[in-house]
A = this chain, B = another copy of it.
Amino acid sequence: MIHHVTVLVFLKEGVLDTQGKAVLSVLLHAGHSDVRDVRIGKYIQLQIESPTREEALKQANAMCEDLLVNSIIEEYTVKLRGEEDA
């Protein structure tokens, strides 16, 4: 069974988000004067073949720890989106 897992990766509080600051500056210059802060992270959609939801979540967490997330500066959340037959 294919499980759809959503991973959100974002910089830890206090880590300077240079990409976000650049976008903030562009938004302000484009006339969006009410924006106060912008922080940009990653939205990763994984399809994982696994017999159970629990195993899919475990695999997704392992992928985050191994490769997808730099745990020194980033945090992440993992969530199952739904199920469908392979």
- Chain A interface SS verdict (over half): strand
Q: A85 at interface (Cβ–Cβ under 8 A)?
A: no
Using Cβ atoms and an 8 Å threshold, which residues of chain B touch A67?
Answer: 23, 26-27, 30
Whole-angstrom CA separation of A47 from B24 in the bound complex: 10
**Which residues of B lie under 8 Å from residue A23 when comparing CB positions?**
44, 67-68
Contact-size category for A: 20 to 34
- Verify A32–B62 contact, CB threshold 8 A: yes
Which residues of A22-38 are within 8 A (CB) of B?
Answer: 23, 26-27, 30, 32, 34-38
Which B residues are CB-close (under 8 A) to A36?
A: 2, 47-49
A40 to B7, CA, bound (A): 9
